[in-house]
Structure 1
């Protein structure tokens, strides 16, 4: 492992300013012109965000060296691949709450901001724990392996939005209307201030992202121990999520083996963390280099995508599911 990465205060300020600026741009565009995002617009923004992430990575690597550059790109690819599973859940939430297309942009943008804030908190906590307690590598590794096993076991299921604890609490404590009042989160109906379905959808997306963060943060710490790299990898992966949603939401059903691929990636990174912990106890325990991790992740994603397309071609009725970490009594068919 290279010497600890040192990022100056100016570096942090510039990085956070760039991310906040991109988020503000997304939010302003959603607020001033609510509309259904078309394919061409989604492609343009998706290319833009991927290009920004790549340019940042190249500049970052030129400044701090190839080792840290590899860690950034490995972390970004891990987070980007896991974020596709987020998109499945987003589609389910938007469908469940019948969010009008012209308002989906706003819900996604606010949801991404919430997710970024929560993940920043988890990154600070995770980095502190790893510095204080070496055995946290073992804990994180076992957590990822357990998550991978659960995801594989329930790979053909959808998470239940109605079972979401925060959604249940929102329904219990707030007066709700079933009307979408423009793009408002709260509206006055018959003289009474009430939350709209848009607000409940936002709660569902934010709380779902909280659960995803519990898996994605340990996963990205599996390819780098640097909090800065973990943060920027998460941030740039999340920034492109809104555009990616509108780009691929009609194609997600084709990725029938995505959950299996993600389970393999999580299990691999979990094993990598366990080996890393073992290496701190004995030099005889092997470690997995970042470049090896990057190759394995890319190969798994490529094989998963190709196998999914072949499966759908042979069986057009096959449909993908995001997977769940626990079984549900009912699993609605996403026909």
Structure 2
């Protein structure tokens, strides 16, 4: 797998991720179990986006100042590929977040415990996606035709997502949940942030462990969609990996932010479906016509913007509170 990124930038990326995880998982752990407020989620979302853009700027500078003129000439294109990939992964994560929200609601997970579940989910997602991206990169390098398989898969997934958008999902029919319940006795009550508890002298799982497992399974399912999507933008493993990981690092803050305004973006699933269909089509046409990166970026941003504005304008209005009657004097 060939990449334009210099070795020192790979090292910088790895160190940056480890530092970010240390801050997010060790320093913030001192806060203990607490409910993440909207202002806190907004602050952390801004921080993660700023760090991602700063890394992209460093990536552009590393290429622009490269001693090889051919590499330097690709700086703008590669930076736009990172940005497009980052936006795609970030937007596809929105649908992932809505499923997380459904799982938390189904199990009535207290807001104070949700943070730990998401922290563990992020670690699992980083490891899983790194492996899948490396394997995907090797497969594409050896078997070019697999791009058509990815493209057809994304096209069908987008159509399926459009069909399912707006329909209420029932977690009770989830096969993974049924399988877990068959092999894993679960307590009816939470035991703080513990995954295991003791009932009648037996060590059994708590509902929080079930939630963690389901979140992990959900991420596996969504990774199958999102990773082929980024390969439609670029075949550079560095860009694929870094844009994916930076999108995941901000997932926890993004969850608490979107959870507070989920109703306002009720049409977002339709926009994500259109994005997947566009990316799948782009991948199927790759040997006939390669859609420019700037066009892809414009399409993704445009679809997201239209869908979000449309969602806000058509959001169901809350019933107006009736004024209380004033007490009548005698």
Q: Fold-level match, TM-score > 0.5?
A: yes
1:178 paired residue number:
188
1:44 paired residue number:
43
State the shift of 1:139 in Å: 0.8
1:310 paired residue number:
313
Whole-angstrom distance in 2 between the partners of 1:95 and 1:316 = 22
1:320 paired residue number:
none
Compared CA separation, residues 198 and 14, structure 1 to 2 (3 A): same
Whole-angstrom distance in 2 between the partners of 1:127 and 1:108 = 27
1:329 paired residue number:
none
1:207 aligns with 2:217: yes
1:289 paired residue number:
292
Please say if residues 143 and 270 of structure 1, whose CA atoms lie closer than 8 Å, have aligned partners that are also in contact.
Answer: yes
**Of 8, 13, 16, the match for 2:14:** 16
TM-score calculated relative to the size of structure 1: 0.87
State the shift of 1:30 in Å: 5.1
Please say if residues 105 and 242 of structure 1, whose CA atoms lie closer than 8 Å, have aligned partners that are also in contact.
Answer: yes
Structure 2 counterpart SS, 1:184: coil
RMSD: 1.8
1:149 aligns with 2:159: yes
2:57 paired residue number:
58
Structure 2 counterpart SS, 1:112: helix
Runs (5+) with no aligned partner, structure 2: 64-74, 319-330
Please say if residues 109 and 208 of structure 2, whose CA atoms lie closer than 8 Å, have aligned partners that are also in contact.
Answer: yes
1:224 aligns with 2:234: yes
Paired residues for 1:125-274 under 5 Å: 125-274=135-284
Spell out, residue by residue over 1:224-271, the C-alpha distance to the aligned partner (whole angstroms, 9 max, x if none). Answer: 111111111111111111011112212111212211111111111111
Q: Which moved more, 1:87-96 or 1:116-125?
A: 116-125
Spell out, residue by residue over 1:68-101, the C-alpha distance to the aligned partner (whole angstroms, 9 max, x if none). Answer: 1110000000001111111111111110111111
State the shift of 1:171 in Å: 1.5
Please say if residues 124 and 216 of structure 2, whose CA atoms lie closer than 8 Å, have aligned partners that are also in contact.
Answer: yes
Whole-angstrom distance in 2 between the partners of 1:152 and 1:288 = 23
Whole-angstrom distance in 2 between the partners of 1:161 and 1:17 = 38
Whole-angstrom distance in 1 between the partners of 2:54 and 2:175 = 39
State the shift of 1:9 in Å: 4.6
Whole-angstrom distance in 2 between the partners of 1:159 and 1:16 = 38
Spell out, residue by residue over 1:252-299, the C-alpha distance to the aligned partner (whole angstroms, 9 max, x if none). Answer: 1121221111111111111111111xx2xxxxx222011110011000
Whole-angstrom distance in 2 between the partners of 1:67 and 1:179 = 53
Whole-angstrom distance in 1 between the partners of 2:148 and 2:212 = 34
Q: Which moved more, 1:156-165 or 1:238-247?
A: 156-165
Question: In terms of Rg, which structure is larger?
Answer: 2
